[in-house]
Amino acid sequence: MHIHILGICGTFMGGVAQLACEAGHKVTGCDAHVYPPMSDALRNAGIEIMEGYDVSQLDAVRPDVFVIGNAISRGNPLLEAILNRGLSYTSGPAWLCEHVLAGRHVLAVAGTHGKTTTTSMLAWILKEAGLEPGFLIGGVPQWSPRSASLGRVAPMSPFVIEADEYDTAFFDKRSKFVHYRPRTAILNNLEYDHADIFENLAAIEKQFHHLVRIMPSEGLVVANGRCEALDRVLAKGCWSALERFDSPQDGWSLSDDGEAAFEGRSFGRLQLGMPGRYNELNALAAVAAARSVAVPPEKSLEALAAFAGVKRRMEVRGVEDGVTVIDDFAHHPTAIAETIHAVRSRMTSGRLLAVLEPRSNTMKLGTMKDRLAGSLHEADEVFCFAGKGVAWEPAEVLDVMGERAFCTHDLDVLVEAVLKEARPGDTVLCMSNGAFGGIHGKLLAGLACRREAQ
């Protein structure tokens, strides 16, 4: 089969492309902005990528089916031509379900926060247990050069997938995860997000219940025991086995000293290289899910002790002139606060300088702006870059922080401000769900120049 993917450089669609290529299909694709690292990974796999959405691609590629990414909207010239000519098309999640996930034991990781890290943890555990899992992760794990792999293809062989609630395609407004038909699902947490798609939290809860409704009675739901939104989802009905984690009453628990237990039975101590209580809970959920494919919790804990993390999740990009520069994907106020707290918990000296780009659609719309200052309170200094499309003024929102906050619409000005403030021993934490204009490299280069000039 020859598939042509519209929006191929996105994390999810790029993963679909890698899986299709590995499965022996011919894959081509296009995107408005062909950019690394995904473009490099796809080209290394022998996938031809075309810049833009020119109608000439129809005659140039002539695929069996067009796979349409959810970033593609009506009015896109290539999409309009596909519709006008009556050509075959489908969505990425639907194609994945039919050609990759069918017949396998799908372990899906859903939730507002921690999906990428938890998915990577779970896939790592199953890999270390010798199960050769397939996986599709919304980021690149440190233990693999790829974000997606078929693994061992066999009936009911495990496939671990990051299951986000964003809509499927222009013609299918259900959440992507309803296509995955999991037998095991982790529900990490649930807050309001994706304000460009969902009117309110209740609308997202409805989609999460769609996920729960399609799971088999022999399946397993692993759910956060301290999340009222998930309580409401599960109260609507759950037909699978249910195990809670971090529950105040029962289920999976983690003591203050890291002892992991289920219903009173202890399995050993969790030792994790990543800081933060929320990462420990991500790990606990992964341990619970792995047990559904016969991986003993003791084995999971042993594997997690060697877990190397995920790129762009509290990733140290370098140290120059005594200043540590960290890259993180945090963009929701809750994730920002938790990431700052986790990084600070590992610091033994110096100050924490938080550098933020409110880039997600939810943040650009200003839906969460009133929570932003509170999420940054543990940082010593805050530097905020308001890029294209931000519909509010960050300087006004962060005015309550006084001289601790610096805001600008110019990235170069932001870089200079951080370089002027950063001192040896400080940690600079950069947070954005995008490339942030390559700020990490610019900061490290500037710090190196400063050191050499001394």
Contact 81, 6 (CB under 8 A): no
**What sign does the CA torsion over 5, 194, 401, 392 have?**
positive
Would you say 311 and 120 are in contact if contact means Cβ atoms under 8 Å apart? no
Burial (CB count within 10 angstroms: exposed 0-12, middle 13-18, buried 19+), residue 154: exposed
Q: Position 293: which residue type? A: V
Spatial separation of the C-alpha atoms in residues 162 and 123, rounded to whole Å: 10
Cα–Cα–Cα angle for 137, 194, 162, rounded to 5 degrees: 15
Please state, in angstroms and rounded to a whole number, the distance separating the CA atoms of residues 206 and 190: 12
Two tokens, residue 200: 């309110």
Residues 272 and 116: their CA atoms lie apart, in Å, by 16
Q: Are 429 and 315 in contact (CB under 8 A)?
A: no
Pick out the residues of the known binding site.
111-117
CA distance 397 to 406: 11
**Binding residue positions for ATP:** 111-117
Task: List all residues 6 or more positions away from 339 whose beta carbon is below 8 Å from its beta carbon.
Answer: 276, 314, 328, 330, 429, 431
C-alpha distances out from residue 230 to 18, 106, 193, 444, Å: 33, 21, 15, 41
Q: Is the dihedral of CA 125, 127, 132, 135 positive or negative?
A: positive
Give exposure, 89-127, as e/b (b: 16+ Cβ within 10 Å).
bbbbbbbbbebbbeebbbbbbbbbbbbbbbbbbbbbbbb
Contact predicate 33/26, CB 8 Å: no
Distant-in-sequence, close-in-space partners of 272: CB < 8 Å, separation ≥ 6: 279, 280, 283, 304, 305, 307
